[in-house]
């Protein structure tokens, strides 16, 4: 299939696609049946006590699969031999400095008079003529944070918070504000949840997206006040009993916050004359709290702090966030047993820590519940975990960081495939985020359908066999980079065992293993044929080197394709 045919296939799914979807569903069902998770029956009754079992390859890979976007062999080797606590501490020890910001990668297509080609535009004047290019730049850059992540949890948490405090870049008129929003998520990703909520509340992009900039004493806007409670802190559960009057009172507390469009980038402003300085009465849900009305330039900050203090006294905040963390890192279903054994005690840890995100994550990731065998291989990967994860697993070589246009073209390719498979980074469907992380009863199953599954497989096939070509440059998987890091790739059985244990979260049947071996040794030829071929392909002095390298490379690519196209590869 050539490149033109490939992209045509993206628009025209084959008639076998629904069968493939059923295979993924059956694989997930098989895992659930093995582990006793039938219907509403709970899979396990373990809790948040520290895990005391063995911590070998299976356990380490489970932890890394859930906290990284794909696991490189070097990631595994970095943590191999360490204790569970040492690994979790390292995963939670995230960089304090932001990555380099997005740049003018479009300078060879359109002129940006304020920003030289290759320089960042995040502090440059707003220019509507290049705003679409900058918007594409920041979305591609955001995807790059995932595929180029360091081996820690930061990038995974940026996506978590992007889904939680969801806004759509498409609706923000200034890409610089989109960057600042991402910076807030990044810098607060493992900090204090209350501090993060405060920062998001007065973030310029959020002030624009949920109309906070329009919220004045003469025309109170309840949009953000409602979402702050329903989506960001308390949720919509039966115990979140705030009232409509609470929404109205909260909107009054938040009056006066606005955006200063004259700064580079847009910045938060508080206009005291637009602030409602009356006292705000809240319901019994909030302990009948009265937030004292304030005046002057500090009125907004003072009342906002009082408001957050009131909200964070409610136990439901910790419960709600712990449920979301559980659904993201462990499993989508929370039944009464999990609520009692995991969520309630985890929420207490969260509250007692003063809402430390790092503390609650450490407790969850070190818990016996997280490592329960019934919580493994039970989650369908989101598109970024599947696609950026594949790039990381294969250690795909991206262009030089100084070839700005070409590098961002490759990031845009990843971003575009995410969009094709229902995760358009920077632009979730709505303020609630992506349905797979909240919509009952499908939850994560909504990632997979007859349209998205073939595109997932086509992404891996594309980079294995065709490669993404821009000009004279082709970014394509070199299977030797991955394979040569394995323990004994010259022996067919060992190669297959290492590939499947690293790339798949569950073991395969004897029939599946035999099918993979057929790729290396077609027709059932003896095992030594692969050993001889591998030896010749890795020895430039061998007289059959060129031929062996060519045939072995093709076999390795088809072996990887066969693994990536398995239903098991879609699970984590």
Residue 191 domain-assigned (yes or no): yes
Contact 293, 277 (CB under 8 A): yes
Reported as a single tens digit per residue, the pLDDT across 427-453 is 999 999 999 999 989 999 999 999 999
Q: Please report which confidence band the pLDDT of residue 42 belongs to, taking 50, 70 and 90 as the band edges.
A: very low
Task: Give me the phi and psi of 550, to 5 degrees please.
Answer: -65, -50
Q: What pLDDT is recorded for position 34?
A: 45
Q: Using CA atoms, how far apart are residues 183 and 466, in angstroms rounded to an integer?
A: 35
Mean pLDDT along residues 460-469: 98
The residue-averaged pLDDT of 112-137 equals 96
Q: What is the DSSP letter of 531?
A: H
Residue 10 has pLDDT above 80, yes or no: no
What is the average pLDDT across 283-310?
Answer: 98
**DSSP tag of 439:** -
**Phi then psi dihedrals of residue 571, to 5 deg:** -105, 155
For residues 295 and 272, is the Cβ–Cβ distance under 8 A?
yes
Give domain status of residue 269, yes or no. Answer: yes
Q: Is the pLDDT of residue 13 over 70?
A: no
Last residue of some domain: 295, 313, 331?
313
Task: Tell me if 151 sits within 8 A of 78, measured CB to CB.
Answer: yes
If DSSP codes are grouped into helix, strand and coil, which group holds residue 202? coil
* Domain edge (last residue) among 260, 294, 313: 313
Q: 545 pLDDT band (50/70/90 cuts)? A: very high
The token pair that represents 416 in the structure block: 């575009």
pLDDT for 264: 84
Whether the per-residue pLDDT at 33 is higher than 60: the answer is no
Q: Is residue 88 part of a domain?
A: no
Residue 357 falls within a domain, yes or no? no
User: What are the contacts of 103-109 at 24+ separation with CB within 8 A?
Assistant: 103/137, 103/141, 103/404, 103/408, 104/137, 104/404, 105/137, 105/140, 105/404, 105/405, 105/407, 105/408, 106/130, 106/133, 106/134, 106/136, 106/137, 106/405, 106/408, 107/404, 107/405, 108/405, 109/133, 109/405
Q: What is the mean pLDDT of residues 340-369?
A: 98
Domain contains 215: yes
DSSP codes, 320-377: HHHHHHHHHHT-S---HHHIIIIIHHHHHHHHHTTSBHHHHHHHHHTBHHHH-GGGSS
* CB 385 within 8 Å of CB 470: no
Question: For 535-568, what is the HEC assignment?
Answer: HHHCCCCCCCHHHHHHHHHHHHHHHHHHHHCCHH
Rounded CA separation 183/181 (Å): 5
Q: Count structural domains, the chain.
A: 2
Structural domain including 551 reads 481-570
pLDDT at 29 over 90: no
Q: Which of 253, 281, 313 corresponds to the end of one domain?
A: 313
HEC profile of 368-420: HHHHCHHHCCCCECCHHHHHHHHHHHCCCCCCCCCCHHHHHHHHHHHHHHHHH
547 part of a folded domain: yes
Q: Is 464 within the bounds of a domain?
A: no
Count Cβ neighbours within 10 Å for each residue of 103-135 and write b for 16 or more, e otherwise: bbbbbeeeebeebeeebbbbebebbeebeebbb
Q: How far apart are CA 391 and CA 384, in angstroms?
A: 10
| In a domain? residue 151 | yes
Q: pLDDT tens digit string along 404-435?
A: 999 999 999 999 999 999 999 999 999 999 99
**Mean pLDDT, the chain, integer:** 93
pLDDT of residue 327: 97
Residue 286 pLDDT > 60, yes or no?
Answer: yes
């Amino acid at each position: 299939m050539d490149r033109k045919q490939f992209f045509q296939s993206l628009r025209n799914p084959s008639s076998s696609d629904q069968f493939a979807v059923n295979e993924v569903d059956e694989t997930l069902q098989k895992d659930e049946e093995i582990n006793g998770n039938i219907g509403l029956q709970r899979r396990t009754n373990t809790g948040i006590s520290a895990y005391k079992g063995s911590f070998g390859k299976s356990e380490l890979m489970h932890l890394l699969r859930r906290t990284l976007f794909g696991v490189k062999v070097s990631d595994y080797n970095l943590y191999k031999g360490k204790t569970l606590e040492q690994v979790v501490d390292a995963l939670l020890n995230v960089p304090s400095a932001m990555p380099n910001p997005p740049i003018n990668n479009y300078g060879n297509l359109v002129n940006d008079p304020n920003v030289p080609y290759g320089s960042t535009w995040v502090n440059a004047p707003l220019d509507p003529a290049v705003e679409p290019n900058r918007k594409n730049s920041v979305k591609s850059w955001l995807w790059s944070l995932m595929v180029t992540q360091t081996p820690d949890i930061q990038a995974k948490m940026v996506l978590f918070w992007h889904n939680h405090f969801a806004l759509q870049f498409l609706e923000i008129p200034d890409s610089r504000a989109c960057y600042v929003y991402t910076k807030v998520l990044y810098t607060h990703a493992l900090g204090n949840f209350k501090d993060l909520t405060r920062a998001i509340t007065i973030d310029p992009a959020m002030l624009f997206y949920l109309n906070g900039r329009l919220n004045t004493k003469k025309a109170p806007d309840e949009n953000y006040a409602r979402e702050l409670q329903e989506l960001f802190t308390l949720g919509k559960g039966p115990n979140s009993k705030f009232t409509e009057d609470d929404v109205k009172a909260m909107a009054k507390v938040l009056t006066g916050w606005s955006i200063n469009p004259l700064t580079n980038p847009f910045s938060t402003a508080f206009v005291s004359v637009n602030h409602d300085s009356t006292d705000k009465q809240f319901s019994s849900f909030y302990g009948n709290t009265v937030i004292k009305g304030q005046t002057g330039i500090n009125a907004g900050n003072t009342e906002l702090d009082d408001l957050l203090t009131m909200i964070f006294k409610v136990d439901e905040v910790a419960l709600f966030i712990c449920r979301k963390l559980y659904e993201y890192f462990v499993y989508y279903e929370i039944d009464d047993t999990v609520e009692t054994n995991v969520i309630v005690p985890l929420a207490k840890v969260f509250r007692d820590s003063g809402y430390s995100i790092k503390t609650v994550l450490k407790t969850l990731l070190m818990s016996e519940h997280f490592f329960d065998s019934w919580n493994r291989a039970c989650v369908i990967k989101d598109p970024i975990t599947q696609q950026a994860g594949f790039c990381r697993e294969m250690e795909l070589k991206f262009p030089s960081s100084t070839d700005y246009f070409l590098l961002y073209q490759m990031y845009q390719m990843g971003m575009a495939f995410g969009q094709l498979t229902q995760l358009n980074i920077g632009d979730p469907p709505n303020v609630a985020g992506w349905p797979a992380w909240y919509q009952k009863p499908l939850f994560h199953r909504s990632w997979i359908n007859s349209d998205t599954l073939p595109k997932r497989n086509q992404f891996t096939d594309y980079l294995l066999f065709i490669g993404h070509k821009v000009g004279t440059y082709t970014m394509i998987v070199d299977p030797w980079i991955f394979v040569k890091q394995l323990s004994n790739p010259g022996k067919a059985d060992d190669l297959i065992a290492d590939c499947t244990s690293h790339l798949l979260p569950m073991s395969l049947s004897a029939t599946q293993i035999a099918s993979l071996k057929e790729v290396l040794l077609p027709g059932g030829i003896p095992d030594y044929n692969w050993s001889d071929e591998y030896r010749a392909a890795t020895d430039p002095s061998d007289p059959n080197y060129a031929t062996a390298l060519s045939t072995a490379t093709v076999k390795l690519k088809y072996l990887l394709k066969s693994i990536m196209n398995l239903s098991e590869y879609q699970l984590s």
